[in-house]
Amino acid sequence: MEDTNGCPGRARRIAYSGQGESKQDTADQLRLLIESVTDHAILTLDLDGYVASWNPGAERIKGYRADEILGQHFSRFYPPEAVARNRPRYGLDVATREGRFEEDGWRVRKDGSRFWANVVITALYDETGQLRGFGKVTRDFTARYQAQEQREMERLREALRIRDDFLSVASHELRTPLTPLQLKLTAMRRAVDSAPGGMLPSERVGRDLDVAVRQVRKLVELVDDLLDVSRISVGQLTLERVPADLTALLREVVARYLPQASQLGSTVELDAPAPVQGEWDTRRVEQVMTNLLSNALKYGGGKPIHVSLRAEGGLALLSVRDEGIGIAPEALPHVFDRFMRAVSGRNFSGLGLGLFIAHQVVSAHGGDIQVSSVPDKGSTFSVRLPLGPT
pLDDT tens-digit profile of 119-140?
Answer: 999 999 988 999 999 999 999 9
Handedness of CA 141, 143, 144, 147 (dihedral sign): positive
Q: Which of 343, 300, 347, 349 is nearest to 321 (CA)?
A: 300
Q: What is the pLDDT of residue 200?
A: 61
pLDDT tens-digit profile of 352-384?
Answer: 688 988 998 999 999 999 999 999 999 999 999
pLDDT tens-digit profile of 272-304?
Answer: 999 999 999 998 999 899 999 999 999 998 999
Please name the residue ranges forming H helices in 110-245.
Answer: 142-194, 202-233
Tally of residues, the chain: 390
Q: How far, in Å, CA of 236 to CA of 323, rounded? A: 36
Q: Which of 116, 96, 97 is nearest to 106 (CA)?
A: 116
pLDDT tens-digit profile of 234-280?
Answer: 676 788 899 999 999 999 999 999 998 999 999 999 999 999 999 99
Percent of the chain with pLDDT over 70: 76
Q: Which helix (H) or strand (E) holds 356?
A: helix 354-364
Is the pLDDT at 6 greater than 60, yes or no? Answer: no
Instruction: List the beta bridge partners of residue 243.
Output: 279
Phi, psi of 55 (to 5 degrees): -105, 170
Q: Please report, to the nearest 10 degrees, the dihedral formed by the alpha carbons of residues 51, 52, 56, 60 taken in order.
A: 0
Report pTM: 0.51
Residue type (1 letter), 71: G
Phi, psi of 94 (to 5 degrees): -65, -45
The band of 314, judged by pLDDT with boundaries at 50, 70 and 90, is very high
Q: Which of helix, strand or coil describes residue 158?
A: helix
Q: What is the pLDDT of residue 155?
A: 87
With vertex at residue 348, the alpha carbon angle to CA 346 and CA 353, rounded to the nearest 5 degrees, is 105
Is the pLDDT at 81 greater than 50, yes or no? Answer: yes
Q: How far, in Å, CA of 291 to CA of 283, rounded? A: 12
Is the pLDDT at 197 greater than 80, yes or no? Answer: no
pLDDT tens-digit profile of 21-78?
Answer: 555 555 555 555 566 556 799 999 999 999 999 999 999 999 999 999 999 999 999 9
Q: Please report, to the nearest 10 degrees, the dihedral formed by the alpha carbons of residues 164, 170, 172, 176 taken in order.
A: 180
